């Protein structure tokens, strides 16, 4: 198969046909903000953060757009920034206030995005923050769930689905109240820990049992 040639931020790259912009960019150490993307899973495209500009024209999701010959991609235009910065600020405003003690501290995708975009905390003060932290919830017999940190990216759901065919955990409720819940079905969670490993922000906390 012939390689595909494309330009990302003025640099030339070669890629396999069928690869997505996200795959090519990450492979070449170009960071594109993302929360719901995981290389092992089908791109959900629901965090909406991996916007890139294609051929000096429209914005598209890097995780769901396959590369094309001669494509010109930009990952850092002012339009992209204007589109995604408010979203990231919303996530942070809704997120647990401190990173101290968080198991994801240091490897957290949200921290990475904040650093990448140089998020200004003062702008977040203009938003309305949740009044109180919600309590931890016992998700499965083995896991606690922290709704204050969860970005509802669905990676845990997809991970479980991939391994077991049907997911033990799934979305519950609607709108802002959407959260992850345990649906005890035919099979029980056997504590494979894959969802914990894949969570981008450290929402799932193994219990000491």
Partner 1 sequence: MITADFRAKAETEWQNITDPSVPQIFIGMATCGEAAGALSIYKAMESALIKNRIKARIHKTGCLGMCYCEPMVDIIKPGRPRITYKNLTPETAAELITDYLINDNYRPDLALGVWGKEFDGIPNLFQLDFMKFQQRTALKNIGVINPEDISQYIACGGYKAFEKALGTSQQDIIYEVEKSGLRGLGGAGFPTGLKWKTCYKARYSPKYMICNADEGDPGAYMDRSLLESDPHSVLEGMLIAAYAIGCSRGYIYIRDEYPLAIKRMAIAIEQMRQYGLLGDNILNSDFSFDIEIREGAGAFVCGEESALLASIEGNRGMPRHRPPYPAESGLWGKPTDINNVKTLANIPSIIINGAEWFAGRGTESSKGTAIFALTGKVANRGLIEVPMGITLRQIIYDIGGGIPDGKAFKAVQTGGPSGGCLPADLLDLPIAFDSLAAAGSIMGSGGMVVLDEDTCMVDVARFFLDFAQQESCGQCIPCRLGTKQMFEILDDITKGNGKQTDVDVLLELSDSIVKTSLCGLGRTVPNPVLTTIRYFRDEYDSHINDKQCPSNVCQALINGGQSDE
**Residues in touch with partner 1 (CB under 8 A):** 35, 45-49, 51, 59, 64, 82-87, 90-91, 93-94, 126-128, 151-152, 154, 170-171, 173-178
Can you say whether the dihedral through the CA atoms of 68, 74, 79, 80 is positive or negative?
positive
Question: Cβ 14 to partner 1, closest distance in Å?
Answer: 27
Cα atoms found within 13 Å of the Cα of residue 84, Cβ hemisphere only? 27
Question: Cβ 86 to partner 1, closest distance in Å?
Answer: 4
Q: What's the rounded Cα separation, in Å, for the pair 202 and 107?
A: 9
Q: What's the rounded Cα separation, in Å, for the pair 209 and 206?
A: 9
| Best CA proximity match to 153, nearest among 66, 87, 59 | 87
Residue with Cβ nearer partner 1 (82 or 209): 82
Residue with Cβ nearer partner 1 (46 or 117): 46
Residue with Cβ nearer partner 1 (149 or 152): 152
Question: Cβ 128 to partner 1, closest distance in Å?
Answer: 4
Question: Cβ 19 to partner 1, closest distance in Å?
Answer: 18
Q: Which two tokens stand for residue 27?
A: 């492979």
Q: Which two tokens stand for residue 170?
A: 């799934």
């Amino acid at each position: 198969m012939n390689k595909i040639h494309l330009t990302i931020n003025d640099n030339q790259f070669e890629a396999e046909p069928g690869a997505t912009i996200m795959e090519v960019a990450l492979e070449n150490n170009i960071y594109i903000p993302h929360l719901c993307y995981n290389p092992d899973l089908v791109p959900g495209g629901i965090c909406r953060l991996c916007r890139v500009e294609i051929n000096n024209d429209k914005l598209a999701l890097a995780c769901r757009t396959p590369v094309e010959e001669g494509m010109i991609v930009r990952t850092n235009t002012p339009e992209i920034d204007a589109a995604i910065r408010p979203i990231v600020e919303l996530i942070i405003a809704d997120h647990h206030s401190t990173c101290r003690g968080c198991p994801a501290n240091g490897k957290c995708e949200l921290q990475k995005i904040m650093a990448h975009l140089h998020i200004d905390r003062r702008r977040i003060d203009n938003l309305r923050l949740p009044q109180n932290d919600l309590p931890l919830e016992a998700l499965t017999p083995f896991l606690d769930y922290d709704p204050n940190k969860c970005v509802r990216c669905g990676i845990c759901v997809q991970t479980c689905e991939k391994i077991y065919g049907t997911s033990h955990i799934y979305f519950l409720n609607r709108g802002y109240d959407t959260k992850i819940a345990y649906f005890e079905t035919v099979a029980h969670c056997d504590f494979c820990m894959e969802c914990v490993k894949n969570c981008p922000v450290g929402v799932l906390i193994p219990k000491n049992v």
